C-alpha cells in the first residue's frame, strides 16, 4: 500500500524534485548567484520571509556535475511548484479564530 501511495503522489506531482539544485538572480545586483543552492535551502530562505529571495526572484535549475542549466531557462520562484508552496502564506484556525500567517 505504501508503494502504491508513493507512486500515486509521484504521478500527481511529476515536477517536484527536492534534490534539484538552483542558481538565483540577486535582487540587488541582478547577477546570478555564485553558489548553487539546493531546493531545501531555497525553501528555508523563502519561508523565513528573507529579503534575499522573493517570490518573483528568478531561478534556474543547475547540474553541478555537468555544469549545465535547465533548458526551461530562468523562472520566477513562484512558478516552480515546490518553491511556490514555500512562498504561500499559511494560516490555521483555533476556537479563537484564524491565526497566522505562520
The alpha helices in 13-76, defined as continuous H runs, are 39-47
Give the side-chain half-sphere CA count within 13 A for 51: 1
User: φ and ψ at 70, to 5 degrees?
Assistant: -60, 140
Residue 53: DSSP 8-state: S
* End-to-end CA, the chain: 33
C-alpha cell of residue 91: 494560516
The per-residue pLDDT for range 17-61, each reduced to its tens digit, is 788 999 999 988 999 999 999 999 999 988 886 678 889 999 999
Q: Say if residues 58 and 75 touch (Cβ distance below 8 Å).
A: yes
The per-residue pLDDT for range 49-102, each reduced to its tens digit, is 667 888 999 999 999 999 999 999 999 999 998 898 888 888 889 999 898 877
pTM value is 0.72
C-alpha cell of residue 38: 539546493
Amino acid at each position: 500500500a505504501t508503494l502504491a501511495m508513493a507512486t500515486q503522489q509521484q504521478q500527481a506531482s511529476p515536477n517536484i524534485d527536492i534534490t534539484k539544485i538552483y542558481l538565483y538572480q540577486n535582487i540587488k545586483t541582478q547577477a546570478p548567484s555564485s553558489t548553487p543552492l539546493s531546493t531545501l535551502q531555497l525553501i528555508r530562505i523563502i519561508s523565513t520571509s528573507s529579503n534575499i529571495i522573493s517570490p518573483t526572484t528568478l531561478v534556474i535549475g543547475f547540474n553541478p556535475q555537468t555544469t549545465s542549466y535547465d533548458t526551461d531557462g530562468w523562472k520566477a520562484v513562484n512558478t516552480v511548484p515546490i518553491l511556490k508552496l514555500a512562498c504561500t502564506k499559511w494560516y490555521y484556525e483555533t476556537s479563537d479564530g484564524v491565526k497566522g500567517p505562520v
